[in-house]
């Protein structure tokens, strides 16, 4: 997040709404450090938050969805949204940028994957952009083939 350790929790809890806000109001005293009653560290907070709002059974289900995720017939944009949302439940598969790129690329549609794999991209945002460009090119190529077939077989 780029914030100091003592500010991360403040920034995160500022955005909590409804149930989550009530939960935090009644729970935050458990996270105060004994020496400095004003500091709440990020890791214990995020662990408790996940335990409360993403119980183990839910996380396991989402991890399974991530492992089975494929682009299939959805757009690269929609696939990336699902990939990003589910990857947080399977951090061991995306421990670094290169792992994230490998998984994202491996689960792309074959025609798109073949076009982007030659770049050996290790920057996730650039990979997603190249996949979107490849998707557009694949669609244009398919449209040209279909147009050619229609023109070839249309009676004069």
CA distances from 43 to 6, 38, 47 (A): 11, 16, 6
For the record, the structure tokens of 58 come out as 């839910």
Of 20, 35, 53, which marks where a domain is finished?
53
Q: What whole-number distance in Å separates Cα of residue 123 and Cα of residue 86?
A: 19
Question: How many domains are there within the chain?
Answer: 2
- Same domain for 148 and 82: yes
pTM above 0.85, yes or no: no
Q: What is the pLDDT of residue 8?
A: 86
- Same domain for 132 and 70: yes
27-36, 41-50, 51-60, 121-130: segment of lowest average pLDDT: 27-36
Q: What is the pLDDT of residue 38?
A: 67
The mean pLDDT of the chain is 90
**Which residues form the domain of 17?**
5-53
CA distances from 87 to 35, 82, 113 (A): 36, 8, 19
- Same domain for 141 and 72: yes
- Same domain for 142 and 86: yes
Q: What whole-number distance in Å separates Cα of residue 124 and Cα of residue 108?
A: 14
């Amino acid at each position: 997040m780029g914030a100091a350790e003592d500010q991360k929790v403040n920034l995160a809890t500022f955005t909590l709404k409804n149930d989550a806000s009530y939960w935090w109001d009644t729970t935050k005293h458990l996270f105060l450090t004994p020496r400095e009653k004003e500091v709440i560290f990020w890791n214990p907070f995020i662990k408790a938050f996940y335990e409360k709002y993403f119980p183990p059974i839910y996380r396991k289900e989402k991890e399974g969805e991530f492992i089975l995720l494929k682009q299939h017939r959805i757009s690269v944009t929609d696939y990336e949204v699902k990939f990003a949302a589910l990857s947080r439940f399977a951090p061991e598969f995306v421990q670094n940028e290169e792992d994230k790129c490998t998984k994202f690329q491996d689960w792309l549609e074959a025609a798109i994957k073949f076009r982007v794999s030659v770049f050996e991209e290790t920057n996730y945002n650039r990979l997603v952009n190249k996949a979107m460009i490849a998707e557009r090119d694949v669609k244009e190529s398919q449209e040209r083939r279909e147009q050619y077939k229609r023109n070839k077989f249309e009676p004069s």
